[in-house]
Copies of this chain bind each other. A is one copy, B any other.
């Protein structure tokens, strides 16, 4: 059993940095969106997945897998997105319990507007701070902290 109950100083430092920096960056990005009068990041995450999925859409449980949101969270978020006309809920043929969520034209437009702001935040907060090689290094190292670990 190689598990250690007490982490090394390096591990503690890396953890602290990770938690602090990620929170700080996320808040910056959220603030930029809010200032622009746009919806919060969570909406972007969902719209992004749905846009990538295309006309076939996605089932809510697939969104849960992809976004890490809790089930009840997705359920309510989708209700809000539908109320705003950004997505459509379609019944699914071979499963009477389920539904398929498809992004609506207005959803694509909102996503586009959000990306204009969000992308700029990423460029400023991350892209401008580290070189491409360093960014690749960060991705690789963080990927190994994922569960399951990412190879690329």
Residues of A near any B CB (own CB < 8 A): 2-8, 10-15, 17-28, 68, 116, 119-120, 122-130, 132, 134-139, 141-147, 149-150
Considering the chains assembled together, what is the distance between the CA atoms of A123 and B7 in angstroms?
Answer: 4
Q: Report whether B11 and A142 are in contact in the complex, using a CB–CB cutoff of 8 Å.
A: no
Residues on B with beta carbons closer than 8 Å to the beta carbon of A21: 18, 142-143, 145-146
Q: How far is the CB of A76 from chain B (nearest CB, A)?
A: 18
Considering the chains assembled together, what is the distance between the CA atoms of A92 and B68 in angstroms?
Answer: 44
Residues on B with beta carbons closer than 8 Å to the beta carbon of A149: 129
Considering the chains assembled together, what is the distance between the CA atoms of A68 and B126 in angstroms?
Answer: 19
Q: Report whether A130 and B141 are in contact in the complex, using a CB–CB cutoff of 8 Å.
A: yes
Considering the chains assembled together, what is the distance between the CA atoms of A138 and B127 in angstroms?
Answer: 16
Give the residue of B7, B134, B137, B138 whose beta carbon is less than 8 angstroms from that of A122.
Answer: B7
Q: Report whether A122 and B15 are in contact in the complex, using a CB–CB cutoff of 8 Å.
A: yes
| 26 sample A-B contacts, Cβ–Cβ < 8 Å, listed by A number | A3-B124, A3-B128, A4-B123, A4-B128, A5-B116, A6-B123, A8-B135, A10-B132, A10-B136, A11-B123, A12-B119, A13-B135, A13-B139, A14-B136, A17-B138, A17-B143, A19-B22, A19-B25, A21-B142, A21-B143, A21-B145, A22-B22, A27-B68, A125-B145, A129-B145, A130-B141
Considering the chains assembled together, what is the distance between the CA atoms of A128 and B144 in angstroms?
Answer: 10
Residues on B with beta carbons closer than 8 Å to the beta carbon of A8: 123, 127, 132, 135
Q: How far is the CB of A113 from chain B (nearest CB, A)?
A: 13
Considering the chains assembled together, what is the distance between the CA atoms of A119 and B7 in angstroms?
Answer: 6
